[in-house]
Structures are given as C-alpha cells and as structure tokens.
Amino acid sequence: MRPRIYITQPVAPSAIERLRAVADVEFNPDPLRIVDKATLCAAVAKSDILFCLLHDRIDGDVIAANPHLRAIASMKITPSDIDVAAATTRRIPITVIPPLVTEATADINWALLLAVGRRVLEGDRLVRNGIFPGSQSSYLESAMVSGKVLGLVGGGGRIGLAVARRAQGFGMKVLYWGPRRLPQDKEQEAGLTYTTLDELLASADFVSLHSPLKPDTRHQIGARELALMKPSAFLINTSRGAIVDEAALATALVEGRIAGAGLDVFEDEPHVTASLLTLPNTVLTPHLGSAVRELRESMAHCVVDNIIAILNNQQPPNCWNPEIYSTKG
C-alpha cells in the first residue's frame, strides 16, 4: 500500500509531482483557505505524513488524530505552532527547511518601507477613485528615504544584514542593536553602527524589526518603545507579529505618535487588529516575505527531500528533533 500524504495548501506542482511518484497525495486546493482544526484532524487521521505550511497550527490534538502518523514535514525554518514535545514523545520526526528566505524577506521589507514612507498606496487609491492632485500638489507630501537613518532592531542576523546592504544604495545611515554585537570588521563591511535600543528608537527615521520570536522578545516593541520614536518615524515589521504589541502600535498610530507602519506579520495571524485596517498611514501585507515563485518552489522541494528520506527509513536532512533517531524505542 502506498503511503498517503496530505498537504494543507497548494505548493509548487513540480514538488507535488515528485511526491506522487512515491505516494498518494491529497491537498487542500484553495490557497485562500487555511484548513480549520476539524478538517486538519480528519485529514491527518487518514494520512501517513502531514505536509504543513507556516500558518498551520499543529497541536497535540492534530498529532493524536492518527496513532500511526509517520512525520510532520513543515515548510518553515522553525517549527513554530507545532507541538514538538507531543511529536517527539511519539518519535515522530518534525522536519523544517534551511533559511532560504533571506533575500526575499529583505525585498518585501524594502517594499513596505518605500510604500509607507512615500505614501504609495494612498496615491494608488486616489488615482483609482478618479482623483489626481496637481503634479506638485502638497496633498501627498511624504517622507524622504534617501539619506535618512535606518534602525535595525535585532539587525545583526541574516535578514537584517540583507536590509542593510540595500540601505547603502539609498545613502542611509544604518544603526543596529541586538543582544550580540557583530565583530568590528563585519560592522564596517555592512556599514553598521552599533547603539542601544533606546538610542536607536529615538534616532531612526525608519525602525525595522528583525528579532526572532522568543519569550523575551514577545512585545519587544510596546508602548514605552513606541513613545521613544520620533513622531515622523515609521515602523517596519517583517520578522514575527508578536514582536510588536499590536494594540499599543494601533494606539500610537491613531494618536499620531509615530508617522506610520509597514507590516507583513501580525500578532494573531490571520487576524489583524481592526483599527489598523482603517488607518491610511499603514501598509499591510499578508505575510508575503517568502512569496516568490522560484523561492517557494525551492522551499517545497526541501520538504519533499525530507519526506522521501523518511519514506526510505532514513533520517531526513532537516530534522528538528533528531534525538528520536538516537533514542532506542
């Protein structure tokens, strides 16, 4: 009997084709629908391997839906929203993918920065509604980007450095803060100046967030931090939504304590704080960081590589809980 694989949303056809050569594959065909928990449990109950995406929550109930589940193959870099302990207790491998998303995430970071700073979406909406202010009208005057100060919070990692490289083309001064300072030669190469978090927030015209989500970084940017920012400054978040206290951000934007925000991630995805949706000084995208066709295809094939290894009774190349292979059953 061929193994059965369930995929929670469509992925690259070439990846599905590879899987169909070795297994029976079913998937949710609607890229606009995140499968609910009941549907997910029902699918897992009749599958040997679950192929899940970043937005899926794989809790203990989902894992328990099938006592013979062989693997949870995730298309994300860390198994957030997967009950790792429950899977490991049952010696179910959880697989992830390598950090392939650096350049694509830096691109969307800059797309948000430019769009909110230069009021691109507001201009787009006016044109679509038949409104065309004079070409030198003051109506949509916006922020300068070139030559301004960019502050990278948690900016010493892969994506922060990629954002910094792009900032060089705009002649920006780039400040960064993180729990670990880079070696001096790395700072010079990237054009970075290390400072404290509070000084970064007070000095930057654009504050860009790059911290990983951990217990100590949840709400790293809250009411106190937002109050330190300039009224003319913008907040850009392409890391994880819960890095920001979204309610505090919404209040700061409504009260005009900061100029605007560009957000690709949200605290309780797919839900977004309602007041953010009505503000003209926000640019909001639905977690598009890795939404590049070639990249997504590579990501899907990494998942397939993991799955094929498991089907061949081998340890997969990107196993999050490899201890299950060294522990005797």
Is residue 45 within 8 A of residue 65, CB to CB? The reply is: yes
Distance CA 227, CA 205 (A): 14
Q: Which amino acid is at 256?
A: G
Q: Give CA torsion, residues 248, 269, 84, 4, to 10 deg.
A: 180
User: Among all residues, which ones are annotated catalytic?
Assistant: 240, 269, 287
Is residue 72 within 8 A of residue 63, CB to CB? The reply is: yes
Distance CA 156, CA 179 (A): 9
- The backbone torsions φ and ψ at residue 235, rounded to the nearest 5 degrees and listed phi first, read -110, 130
For 277, residues 6+ apart whose C-beta sits below 8 A from its C-beta are 284
Buried b (16+ CB within 10 A) or exposed e, 198-216: eebbebbbbbbbbbebeee
Q: Which amino acid is at 235?
A: L
Q: Which helix (H) or strand (E) holds 261?
A: strand 260-263
